[in-house]
Amino acid sequence: MTAQTHSASIAAYPSPRLLADVGGTNARFALELAPGKIECIHVLAGAAYATLADALKAYLVLPDVAAAAGLGVRHGAIAIANPVNGDYVKMTNHHWEFSIEALRLEVGFEVLVVANDFTALARSLPLLAEGQKRQVGGGTAQEGAPLGLIGAGTGLGVSGLIPSASGWTALLSEGGHVTFPPMNPEEVAILQYAWTEFPHVSAERLLSGVGIELIYRALVAQCGHAEPVLTAPEIARRALTGECPLCDDVIEHFCTMLGTIAGNLGVTLGATGGIYIGGGIVPRLGERFDRSGFRARFEEKGRFHHYLAAIPTYVITAEYPAFVGVSAILAERLAA
């Protein structure tokens, strides 16, 4: 697979650069052969490998990758779904843990950069083409204003971009772990059920794949009759096909709750440049998300309704946007 990104010079790098986007479920790898020319994309299941080094080395020996790499890869950048503070990384939603320096030595790179995945995704936002995002409500983005980013998948990622005279600064945020705020009696009931499983219910507990399953269990407990145990993909499938009203209620609650957190991010950052929605869940919901209560809830901030009504919200539709951001982070490191 090939992912052509932003317009840039196509003069080849002296050696290909490895790019990776490591989530709690899958690890996506690619080679950047020249600025914006990203090829040899492969998705590896994290559970199939004992360590990130094992997955990375398995990628590098794939036939098309080895052929494109030529004499080898010297530089790499990894976006990972985890805080990155110092050399040691232990994933929250997966069993991998590693030293960045030890990993660099094990795979034989001269330079290896590891960044939070939503920091990398945030860096991609100004580089997304119009066809790589879909606007869902709001007005026109304010030029040179902060941008917000939120995305639900295995967990809930939050970040933002703050403009400065020298460019953009991506926030190292763990905003997915803020305490979940219910907005109506139905959400209070869901929160009360969630408290039976967790002493602290963060936004991520409900706005993620496992969160969809938690919302479903809460609604089943309220309905008073037996329902089958369902996974998040099956809940979403039944909702989208219209075969399960209960599953559709789950997805509606998910979308409106996401609107609350996205609206909070908008007023916190003053993100009049727009709020972007990434992650693996929302893009797959398609028009069901567009007609949900997300946007109405996003704007439901009392006296600040008009402020939020003007802020555009965008669903990121690019297939591999994190590669664009992590490439920019690596390029800055090598230019330093």
Q: CA-CA distance, 5 to 149, in Å (whole number)?
A: 19
What is the arrangement of strands in the sheet containing 147-152, beginning at the earlier edge strand? Answer: 133-135, 313-316, 275-278, 147-152, 156-164, 167-170
Per DSSP (E only), the strands in 51-166 are 75-80, 88-90, 97-99, 111-116, 133-135, 147-152, 156-164
Helices 52-60 & 100-107 angle (0-180, nearest 10): 30
Task: Output DSSP code: residue 179.
Answer: B
Residue 186 main-chain phi, psi, to 5 deg: -65, -40
Q: Is 169 annotated as a binding residue?
A: no
Q: CA-CA distance, 236 to 243, in Å (whole number)?
A: 11
Coil vs helix vs strand at 49: coil
Q: Is 20 annotated as a binding residue?
A: yes
Percent of the chain with pLDDT over 90: 82
Where, residue-wise, is CATH 3.40.367.20 in the chain?
A: 130-317
Give pLDDT, residue 224. Answer: 83
**Mind listing the pLDDT tens digit for each residue in 114-128?**
998 889 999 999 989
Q: Is 34 annotated as a binding residue?
A: no
Give pLDDT, residue 35. Answer: 92
Give pLDDT, residue 6. Answer: 45
Q: Does the pLDDT value for residue 81 go beyond 90?
A: no
Over range 96-111, report the average pLDDT.
97
Taken as a whole, the chain contains a residue count of 336
Beta bridge partners of 188: none
Question: 39-48, 168-177, 239-248: which has the minimum mean pLDDT?
Answer: 168-177
- What is 2-123+320-335's CATH topology? Nucleotidyltransferase; domain 5 (3.30.420)
**Largest Cα–Cα distance in the chain?**
65
Where, residue-wise, is CATH 3.30.420.40 in the chain?
A: 2-123+320-335
Q: Is 21 annotated as a binding residue?
A: yes
Give pLDDT, residue 10. Answer: 65
Bridge-based pairing of strands 147-152 and 75-80 is unpaired
Q: Does the pLDDT value for residue 336 go beyond 90?
A: no
**Mind listing the pLDDT tens digit for each residue in 30-60?**
999 999 899 999 999 999 999 999 999 999 9
Max mean pLDDT range (112-121, 164-173, 289-298): 289-298
Coil vs helix vs strand at 255: helix
Q: Which residue has the higher pLDDT, 230 or 83?
A: 230
Q: Is 117 annotated as a binding residue?
A: no
Over range 215-221, report the average pLDDT.
97
**Mind listing the pLDDT tens digit for each residue in 261-275?**
999 999 999 999 999
Give pLDDT, residue 1. Answer: 43
* CATH architecture of the region 130-317: 3-Layer(aba) Sandwich (3.40)
Give pLDDT, residue 117. Answer: 87
User: Which residue has tokens 């304010």?
Assistant: 142
Give pLDDT, residue 299. Answer: 98
Give yes or no for a contact between 38 and 328, defined as CB atoms under 8 angstroms apart.
no
CA angle, corner 183, sides to 177 and 184, nearest 5? Answer: 140
**Side-chain half-sphere of 208: how many Cα atoms within 13 Å?**
22
Give pLDDT, residue 7. Answer: 43
Q: Is 119 annotated as a binding residue?
A: no
**Mind listing the pLDDT tens digit for each residue in 1-21?**
445 444 444 678 999 999 999
Residue 184, token pair as written in the block: 């109506």
